[in-house]
Structure 1
Amino acid sequence: MAKITLAVSGSISVYKAADLTSQLTKLGHDVTVLMTKAATDFVTPLTFQTLSKNLVHTDLMLEENPASIKHIDLAKETDLLIIAPASANTIAKLANGMADNILTAIALAIPAGVPKLIAPAMNTNMYLNLATQDNLEKLSRYGYTEIKPREALLACGDFGTGALAEVEIILKKVKEIL
């Protein structure tokens, strides 16, 4: 099966990324999880480590193996990159080529031709903001395929587009790509 890198950024929907990790692992994929600091404020890395059976990476500067440059080697090993949930902050960083955390550094180092999925999750106004839409358009030009958020009652109490796509929808897209 495929070597999937699941990059998780800060959003209340991080708990759904844990389910995605579990489902991908059950399908036989080798899942490596990356988490931003904000993501670890919602769910601990141990949850993802337990579900994926792999070390979870949270720190760009922590090199566990002195013979390896982690963000380059992990990028080279990736068959499919999934960023779910993708916060407005992470989307903006990726669209502008920033690499200041483990998620953005590995995303920037992914070799050309490796498929990249991005599943936004945020407040409706943040998602519909022209800056976010411009950033998503830019990412599309960079080879990212957006898995659109769904319309729902959001954690903030607003109703609108911004909820992370259902895990089944993400899994369907993964199957189409692989």
Structure 2
Amino acid sequence: MRRHVANQAGEVLVAVTGGIAAYKVCQLVSRMAQADIGVSVMMTRAAREFVGPATFAALSGRPVASESFDPHWPLGPHIELTRGIDLMVVAPASADFLGKAAHGLADDLVSTAYLARTCPILVAPAMNHQMWSQAAVQRNVARLRDDGVLFAEPAEGWQACREQGSGRMAEPDELLTMIQRLLSASR
């Protein structure tokens, strides 16, 4: 089902988890496509509460995986979409995803893809500042760093909860720069 186009800057799988920052990922996917990066998208059920798969399909030009069992991918989207990719990006990365990844749990599409991938991964956390500062979340982040996971650090600023604090997802332009740098280093 996946198409590879000659002269692409690389193949990236973007995994969208539940959080209001999912709207920013639309801009990221669009900019990646414009930069000649092949981009496929998968989403958790919670992510679909914020942005629909049709939006990402239109921006990426590819079908979007949003269920673990999908006839578009007979071997499973977590297997087929992680084959041949140069980078996986999880944005926004929820506290739920960070906990699952840190403990090797695989009970949804994105967490199974995380375990099935063989490429580097860039994670862009996004959550309420009180959630981000919790010891449990920070332990999960530390464990993931020890496992070699790369992080786009969350920013400080106004949050959807109507408070200021650290936990905002990195901006799309910042993420694109990081993605391009990682893709260049892998070639």
Instruction: Give the structure 2 partner of residue 18 of structure 1.
Output: 26
Determine the C-alpha separation between the residues in 2 that align with 1:63 and 1:52. Answer: 20
Determine the C-alpha separation between the residues in 1 that align with 2:72 and 2:35. Answer: 28
Instruction: Give the structure 2 partner of residue 135 of structure 1.
Output: 140
Residues 1:42 and 2:50 aligned together: yes
Residues 1:80 and 2:87 aligned together: yes
Q: Give the drift of 1:4.
A: 0.3
Is the contact made by 2:68 and 2:76 (CA closer than 8 Å) also made in structure 1?
Answer: no
Letter in 2 for 1:30: G
Determine the C-alpha separation between the residues in 1 that align with 2:106 and 2:163. Answer: 32
Match of 1:31 among 34, 39, 42: 39
Deviations 1:30-63 (A, max 9, x none): 1110100000000100000000000100101223
Q: Give the drift of 1:77.
A: 2.0
- 2:69 is paired with a residue of what secondary structure? coil
User: Could you list the runs of 5+ residues in structure 2 that have no partner in the other structure?
Assistant: 1-8
Is the contact made by 1:63 and 1:70 (CA closer than 8 Å) also made in structure 2?
Answer: no
TM-score (norm 2): 0.90
Is the contact made by 1:86 and 1:119 (CA closer than 8 Å) also made in structure 2?
Answer: yes
The total of aligned residue pairs comes to 175
Letter in 1 for 2:117: I
Determine the C-alpha separation between the residues in 1 that align with 2:121 and 2:132. Answer: 19
- 1:77 is paired with a residue of what secondary structure? coil
Instruction: Give the structure 2 partner of residue 100 of structure 1.
Output: 107
Residues 1:58 and 2:66 aligned together: yes
Q: Give the drift of 1:65.
A: 4.2
Residues 1:167 and 2:175 aligned together: no
User: Could you list the runs of 5+ residues in structure 1 that have no partner in the other structure?
Assistant: none
Q: Give the drift of 1:70.
A: 2.9
Letter in 2 for 1:136: V
Deviations 1:53-84 (A, max 9, x none): 00100101223244x34322221222100001
Letter in 2 for 1:95: A
Determine the C-alpha separation between the residues in 1 that align with 2:154 and 2:10. Answer: 25
Residues 1:70 and 2:91 aligned together: no
Identical positions, percent: 36
Deviations 1:2-46 (A, max 9, x none): 110000000101000000000000001111101000000001000
